[in-house]
Structures are given as C-alpha cells and as structure tokens.
Amino acid sequence: MDLYRFRFRCCVWLCRPNGIHDVMSNIVTIEPDKLTPLQARIMAVPDAHDMAILGGRGYGKTRVAILIALRFCEQYGNHAKVLIVRRSFPGLGEIEQECLTIFTQIYGTSFNYNSQKHRFKMPNGGTISLDQLDHESDFAKFQGRSFGLIVADEAGQYPSPNLLDRLRSSLRAPLGIPTRYIITANPGGPGHGWIKKRHVLRPEWEPYTDDNTGISFVTVNGTYESNIFIDREKYARNLRASNAADPALVQAWLSGDWTAISGAFFECLTDKSMFDPWQSLPGGVGIERHTDFMHHGEVKARHEWKFYLAGDYGYAAPSVFLAMAESPGLEHEGRFYPRGSKIVFDEVALAGIDDPSLGLHMIVPEQAAAIKSMTERWGIRAEGVIDDGCFANMGSQEGTTADQFRKAGVHFRRAHKGSRMSGWNMLRTLMTQAGQPDVPGLYIGKNCQYLWETLPSLPRDPRKPEDLDTRANDHGADSLRYGCLRRAPILTTGLGYATCR
C-alpha cells in the first residue's frame, strides 16, 4: 500500500464518528486530504444522523461530502454504494473533477472510472455514482437501484424538496450497513425557503427530528473564514467581483446568513408592508384636490375604496387567490394608506402544508367554493382577474377554466398581464414605497401566510437577474402581480360596482 493511501486510511479511521462533538484537530496534518477543524467536526457526526451541511461558499461543503462518501466505501467495501446528485450536468462535471483529483491522489491508478456512467469503483469494490436529478422522469434511472449513502449536492437549486424526498425510496442497504442522507446548500437559491424552514431554524450541531420525514438530522453551518487552506481575503474579494451586480447575494454567500434572506428578488419587501389583519372592510370617500395655481385646493375627484380578486390557477401546482383593495387615500384601523396603495387583506392558498410548491389537485368547483367562502366572509363580490391561460380553449366540454369558474359562481376577467418585467418592477416599486405617506405602497396582512412564506425567499433568475427565477415557487407572486397591474373588475361591497377608470 502506497504512503498516500496509508495516510488516507488513517484519516478515515480517525474520523470515524464516535461522538457528535468530537473534533480530531490533528487530522489537518494528514496528507493528501487535509481537513479544516470544521470539516473534521462534520466528519465526526455519527452515521446515525442525516446531515444538512449548509452555509456560505468556500468552506468545502462538497469536498467534505465526497470524503464522507469515500469513508463509507472504505468501511463497507463492495457493499458500499453511494449516489451523489445535482440538478444540472455542468454541476456534476465540477464534482467529477474533484473526485478524480482526490481519488487519484489516494489510489493512483488502482480505482476504476467509467466516464459514460459517471461511476467510480474503488479498489475494495465500493462504488460512487454521480447523476443528474432535475425532473420526475429522472427517477426511472434509479428504479431498482439501492444506495447506502445519498448526497444531494447544492440542494438549494431545487425549488421544492419533493424530488429529493422521493429519492429516499432508493436509500437501502444490506443488514448491518447504515443508510444515510446528506444535503449541502448555500443561501439564496430557488430552494432557500424550504431549506430554511426544515433545517436552518434549528440549533446547530444538535440532533433533531425532521417533521416532514421523521428522520434524525444534524444541521451544520459555516463560512469561508473556517477554511485555513485558502487565501480568505483574496477569496472574498474575488467572490464580490464575480457578482458585483448583486452585492446582497454575495454577502449571503460570504456570511452564510439564511435569516436575512439576502440576495432575494424581493429584498425590498420589509415589515413596512406588513399590517395586522383587518377586522372589517374600510369605507368612506377620499378627496383628491387640485394642486395647480388656478384651482389650488378645489376638489378634483372623489375616490372610493375598491375591492377585487386576483388569482393564479393551478391543479398539480398551487392555486393562489388574493382579496385585494385599492386605497382612496384614507386611514383604516389606525393606519393610513396613501391613494393608489394596493392592499392584500386575505388569501386562499390551495397548496401543500409541508411543501407549498405543490397543489392540492382540486377541481374548479372545489376551488370556487373556497374562494366564495372568503368573499362571503368579507361581503365582496367573487369577481376579479386571473392569469390569461385560464381562457384558453383546451377542447373540454366544460369550456375554459374561466368558464368553469363562472358556472361555479366566481367571475374572472383576463389579467392582461403583459410584460413580466413591468409587473415585477411595479411590485418592487410599491414594496419600496410602503410606509411613505405621500406615495402608494404595497401592504400585505399578517394573515396572508402563504405570501409571507414564499415571497421573501424568491430568488433571481441566475441567467437574467432582472427577472424572478421561474423554477421557484412563484404562484403567489404571479397572483400579486396580476392584482397590482390590473384593477378590473373594480368592486365595492355588496352587489354594486364602482366605475373603473
């Protein structure tokens, strides 16, 4: 056995997890795969716990995950089968290259690498497979296959945990060999929200039971500052230069801060947009006066509160329907809303409780019943705007989706949503102006839990930073965009209509 492999086997056994707080500080002197103290502590977490290896960029999350996979192969030989997945093939290429570097240092040419199947076979028979997992159809590749260790690298690229949870169906091993699941993630991606909800809001380094899977997990968090093997000052400088257009996201990568939701598309959404739930609908007429010299102070127009619905329809995906108001420039329940402000005072979110990116597979009459329950509670008409796709004729005998809503007592018009960019720009402007006394803003009630859960963590499109990432859970945002762009039909309480300007 060559010196490098002997030293690595020493590293493997020294890092065998005997206690969750063990840190083998002397491991950092072992070649060829030196470990930082943080990486050594991660490797010391017992195999009985699944892991969420989270935090900023640059501290070696992927590298330590590869070393854990290699240790698994060294321990269990030809019974060890490891799967590492990423969402994209370019991402797999990065892991592949790092695996080749590490394995060549340790084993020389005595390991086998199948470039077609992206599979590494260790000298003792253990295997590490790399594969892409992006769509439901990708599961056909894993049918009938078993893995004792699965690593979901860059799990934050998945807007929903659904695919990764399903991958657990391939997590099985012979009796006596433990099974384990590990995710790695940075803040700020499409999956920011579900990762934060499941794993970030937990004490670090302490085992907990994931409410969604019932599995024991340990969350670890770190930053580039723990990596003693890089020029940390230069790394931070290069990272800032790599994404100068989005300094908030860069700061999240450097600090590993998940709580601030830095770098999100709607970073301008703050608690200034939040208000306590309304107890009743507002009333009254707002007076708009002339400001020019000739007619200064004279009444220019009278404005009433206007109420309407805005919806984004889904079946397998969520349906989100918002009850919205436009202010005439009056106070309600202790808060002043400048004229033209958009207010979301209630919502119907037909989405999964554990996974808000999934719909409830409810047919239109069932969704209409939920909408009418909300509108009847407030005393407004069940009418508003909905995404244009609901007016497409799909050849159904029931007519379009909008026709089916109408038959069930909910009347929608086209949102005429136009450009996504103009809609997002309007939303961001209204969010930024919230709380200012002389310009319209966007206000969302605390009772609108779906919006507050999904909006703050929505990421930018990495290829088009001025747009929202369409892979993310944007159904609430779309519904809000339709409501802010279009006001028709404009409704008052009861059965009467207000005039739409």
Task: Establish if 36 belongs to a structural domain.
Answer: no
* DSSP labels, 291-333: -STTTTTSEEEEEE-EEEEEEE--SSS-EEEEEEEE--SEEET
Sequence-ordered strand ranges (E) for 148-298: 149-152, 180-185, 208-209, 216-222, 274-275, 285-289
Distance CA 294, CA 208 (A): 71
Number of structural domains in the chain = 2
DSSP 408: T
- Looking at the structure, do residues 237 and 386 belong to the same domain, yes or no? no
- Using the structure block, give the residue that is written with the tokens 């609908």: 281
- Looking at the structure, do residues 275 and 404 belong to the same domain, yes or no? yes
Which value, in Å, is the radius of gyration of the alpha carbons in the chain? 27
Task: Establish if 473 belongs to a structural domain.
Answer: yes
Q: Rounded to two decimals, what is the model's pTM?
A: 0.62
- Using the structure block, give the residue that is written with the tokens 């795969």: 33
- Looking at the structure, do residues 147 and 275 belong to the same domain, yes or no? no
pLDDT at 501 over 60: no
Task: Establish if 443 belongs to a structural domain.
Answer: yes
Residue 45 identity: V
- Looking at the structure, do residues 449 and 481 belong to the same domain, yes or no? yes
- Looking at the structure, do residues 305 and 249 belong to the same domain, yes or no? no
Q: By residue range, what is the domain housing residue 57?
A: 48-255
Q: What is the mean pLDDT of residues 443-455?
A: 90
pLDDT digits (tens, 9 = 90+) for 397-416: 889 999 999 999 999 999 87
- Looking at the structure, do residues 237 and 319 belong to the same domain, yes or no? no
Average pLDDT, the chain: 84
Q: What is the pLDDT of residue 183?
A: 97
- Sequence-ordered alpha helix ranges (H) in 133-219: 162-167, 192-195
Task: Establish if 23 belongs to a structural domain.
Answer: no
- Looking at the structure, do residues 419 and 309 belong to the same domain, yes or no? yes
- Looking at the structure, do residues 311 and 213 belong to the same domain, yes or no? no
Q: What is the pLDDT of residue 360?
A: 94
Task: Establish if 323 belongs to a structural domain.
Answer: yes
- Looking at the structure, do residues 245 and 279 belong to the same domain, yes or no? no
Helices (H) and strands (E) counted in the chain, each on its own, are: 13, 22
Question: What are the phi and psi torsion angles at 309 (to 5°)?
Answer: -105, 155
Of 227, 255, 283, the residue that ends a domain is 255
CATH number assigned to the domain comprising residue 145: 3.40.50.300
In the structure, what pLDDT confidence band is assigned to residue 245 with cuts at 50, 70 and 90?
A: low
CATH number assigned to the domain comprising residue 292: 3.30.420.280
Task: Establish if 73 belongs to a structural domain.
Answer: yes
- Looking at the structure, do residues 217 and 281 belong to the same domain, yes or no? no
Distance CA 34, CA 27 (A): 7
Please answer whether residues 325 and 345 qualify as being in contact, where contact means their C-beta atoms are separated by less than 8 angstroms.
Answer: yes
Q: What are the structure tokens assigned to 427, written together? A: 């939303």
pLDDT digits (tens, 9 = 90+) for 326-348: 999 999 999 999 999 999 999 99
Task: Establish if 33 belongs to a structural domain.
Answer: no
- Looking at the structure, do residues 442 and 294 belong to the same domain, yes or no? yes
- Looking at the structure, do residues 322 and 193 belong to the same domain, yes or no? no
DSSP 268: T
pLDDT digits (tens, 9 = 90+) for 96-136: 999 999 999 899 999 999 999 999 999 999 999 999 999 88
Q: What is the pLDDT of residue 18?
A: 43
